[in-house]
């Protein structure tokens, strides 16, 4: 293989795939990218065995072929290369020459035949979704991160389902201590996208978000046990997680309690100040709801204590609830409304948070024992 690429065309995409090639797997070859000629384009393939990426890009093709090269080193070479045009040539025994007349690298490659196959997604029904909306849906659900030590799919995945006559796409994420839910409504609907709800790995969705630039639409689909995102000549394939997602519907229902409207920025800043004394040992802060006042206090025997209050519209009995302030800060970071609404009932019941205007997103935070 002998091709010429443009630095500006490849630098961005090589940066985006580092999250996939940087993950450890059972095969060393997954730390590499596969580049091969395909008609008048070159095809770039990446996989970590759970998620796969395929992209087609313009290049000058002198001779056809394929090479497998270390993703991190290839990215660093392209990033630091002093000129726009870069030649890539396969030599012998899978060695690869990269450079031009003045700058040259000779890099050891691997056998392209050993690269894991990424399944074909031909004959697949795809559904359009706004890029910006999809990006925000991912952002609002992956704030609840997974855990490599926890093998439960409901912890490491985001639940996808279609509701309300196939008109609304819903994403739900939880770790047992909190839950985030976000909806996306489409006039075209999602009839035929999936027969039932499915669980998509959070780390795969985080990689998808890197390719969403907020303009136009992307296409999504489901084939067998894989979730597919297609944007122009780029496709991401994610293997679904097996298992059942917990029934979440009852926890998002507002029963008897109090609705409290707060200025998002003021509440956010208040929580940031009160969380200064939090630590791994002492994570909670105490919320005290009293007549027209909210007091947030923190006590850490190793550091000290703090307290701050703000005026609210609250006419119920005095209620004390302990929470992890980080959960509120994460939630407030992804709500765009100027005002938020808290729903509280009792010390052992969860707190629900949503924007005052936009009701497409809701966060549920469980209280802590003190």
Question: If DSSP states are collapsed to H, E and C, what string results for the chain?
Answer: CEEEEEHHHHHHHHHHCHHHHCCCCCCHHHHEEEEEEECCEEEEEEECCCEEEEEEEECEEEECCEEEEEHHHHHHHHHHCCCCEEEEEECCCCEEEEECCCCEEEEECECHHHCCCCCCCCCCCCEEEEHHHHHHHHHHHHCCCCCCCCCCHHHHEEEEEEECCCCEEEEEEECCCEEEEEEEECCCCCCCCCCCCEEEEHHHHHHHHCCCCCCCEEEEEEECCEEEEEECCEEEEEECECCCCCCCHHHHCCCCCEEEEEEHHHHHHHHHHHHHHCCCCCCCEEEEEECCEEEEEEEECCCEEEEEEEECCCCCCCEEEEECHHHHHHHHHHCCCCEEEEEECCCCCCEEEEECCCCCEEEEECCECC
pLDDT confidence bin for 17, thresholds 50/70/90: very high
Nearest to 232 by CA among 56, 36, 60: 56
Segment 43-95, tens digit of pLDDT: 999 999 999 999 999 999 999 999 999 999 999 999 999 999 999 999 999 99
Average pLDDT over residues 270-285: 89
pLDDT confidence bin for 279, thresholds 50/70/90: confident
**All domains of the chain, ordered by start, with CATH?**
2-114 (3.10.150.10), 127-249 (3.10.150.10), 254-365 (3.10.150.10)
- Given a contact cutoff of 8 angstroms between Cβ atoms, the answer to whether 76 and 69 are in contact is no
- Given a contact cutoff of 8 angstroms between Cβ atoms, the answer to whether 217 and 131 are in contact is yes
For residue 8, pLDDT over 90 is answered with yes
Segment 306-315, tens digit of pLDDT: 999 999 999 8
For residue 122, pLDDT over 80 is answered with no
| pLDDT for the residue 237 | 95
| pLDDT for the residue 109 | 96
Pull the structure tokens for residue 353: 């948070």
| pLDDT for the residue 259 | 95
For residue 278, pLDDT over 90 is answered with no
- Given a contact cutoff of 8 angstroms between Cβ atoms, the answer to whether 245 and 199 are in contact is yes
Instruction: Please state, rounded to an integer, the average pLDDT across all residues of the chain.
Output: 93
**Percent of the chain surpassing pLDDT 70:** 99
CB atoms within 10 A of CB 142: 19
Compute the distance between CA of residue 202 and CA of residue 211 in angstroms, rounded to an integer.
15
Average pLDDT over residues 165-169: 92
pLDDT confidence bin for 370, thresholds 50/70/90: low
For residue 297, pLDDT over 70 is answered with yes
For residue 242, pLDDT over 80 is answered with yes
For residue 120, pLDDT over 80 is answered with no
Compute the distance between CA of residue 13 and CA of residue 43 in angstroms, rounded to an integer.
12
Compute the distance between CA of residue 75 and CA of residue 145 in angstroms, rounded to an integer.
27
For residue 1, pLDDT over 90 is answered with yes
pLDDT confidence bin for 333, thresholds 50/70/90: very high
| pLDDT for the residue 147 | 73
pLDDT confidence bin for 155, thresholds 50/70/90: confident
**pTM summary value:** 0.92
């Amino acid at each position: 293989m002998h091709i010429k690429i443009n630095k500006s065309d490849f630098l961005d995409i090589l940066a985006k795939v580092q999250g996939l090639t940087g993950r450890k797997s059972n095969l060393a070859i997954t730390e590499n990218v596969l580049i091969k000629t395909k008609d008048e384009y070159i095809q770039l393939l990446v996989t970590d065995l759970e998620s796969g990426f395929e992209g087609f890009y313009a290049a000058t093709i002198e001779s056809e072929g394929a090479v497998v090269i270390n993703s991190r080193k290839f990215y660093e070479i392209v990033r630091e290369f002093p000129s726009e045009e870069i030649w890539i040539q396969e030599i012998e025994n899978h060695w690869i020459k990269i450079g031009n007349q003045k700058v040259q690298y000779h890099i050891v490659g691997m056998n392209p035949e050993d690269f894991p196959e990424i399944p074909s997604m031909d004959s697949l029904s795809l559904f359009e979704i706004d890029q910006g909306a999809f990006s925000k849906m991912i952002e609002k659900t992956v704030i609840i991160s997974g855990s490599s030590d926890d093998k439960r799919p409901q912890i490491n995945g985001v639940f996808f389902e279609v509701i309300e006559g196939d008109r609304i796409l819903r994403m739900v994420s939880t770790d047992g201590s909190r839950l985030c839910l976000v909806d996306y409504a489409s006039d075209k609907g999602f009839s035929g996208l999936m027969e039932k709800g499915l669980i998509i790995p959070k780390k795969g969705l985080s990689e998808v978000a890197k390719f969403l630039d907020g303009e136009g639409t992307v296409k999504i689909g489901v084939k067998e046990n894989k979730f597919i995102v297609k944007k122009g000549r780029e496709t991401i394939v994610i293997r679904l997680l097996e298992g059942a997602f917990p029934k979440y519907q009852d926890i998002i229902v507002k029963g008897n309690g109090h609705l409290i409207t707060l200025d998002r920025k003021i509440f956010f800043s208040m929580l940031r100040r009160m969380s200064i004394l939090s630590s791994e040992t002492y994570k909670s802060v105490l919320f005290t709801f009293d007549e027209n006042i909210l007091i947030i206090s923190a006590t850490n025997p190793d550091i000290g204590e703090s307290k701050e209050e703000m005026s609210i519209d609250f006419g119920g009995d005095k209620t004390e609830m302990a929470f992890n302030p980080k959960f509120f800060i994460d939630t407030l970071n992804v709500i765009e409304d100027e005002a938020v609404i808290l729903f509280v009932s009792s010390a052992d019941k969860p707190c629900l948070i949503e924007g005052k205007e936009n009701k497409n997103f809701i966060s549920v935070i469980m209280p802590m024992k003190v």
